[in-house]
Amino acid sequence: MAAPVLYYKPGCPFGIRLRTALTMRRIPHTSVRFREDEEGAAQVRAVNGGLEISPTVHVNGRWLTNPRWDEVRRAMAA
């Protein structure tokens, strides 16, 4: 099972909250700033109507926009 990839904007409180929740619960994940992965950012825009919504998570072939930590965990198990 691959770890979720969490795309975020620096300083975004929603991205900070999700990254913190995943880390505190020892849920493995990779955090990527939009500007560090232009291909990933383009995919985020494609699934969010052209917007770079932070956070957006890619897990098990699914995209989750601004999910809660437990949604990410359930998607990992699916």
Residue 78 confidence (pLDDT):
86
Q: How far apart are the C-alpha atoms of 55 and 78, rounded to whole Å?
A: 20
Domain boundaries, position 34 = 5-77
Residue 1 confidence (pLDDT):
66
CATH code at position 54? 3.40.30.10
Is 55 in contact with 6 (CB distance < 8 Å)?
yes
Q: How far apart are the C-alpha atoms of 17 and 55, rounded to whole Å?
A: 9
pLDDT tens per residue, range 55-69: 999 999 999 999 999
Residue 4 confidence (pLDDT):
96
Residue 48 confidence (pLDDT):
97
pLDDT tens per residue, range 23-38: 999 999 999 999 899 9
pTM: 0.92
AA identity, residue 16? I
Q: How far apart are the C-alpha atoms of 11 and 78, rounded to whole Å?
A: 30
For residue 40, which of 21, 54, 27 has the smallest C-alpha distance?
54
Number of domains comprising the chain = 1
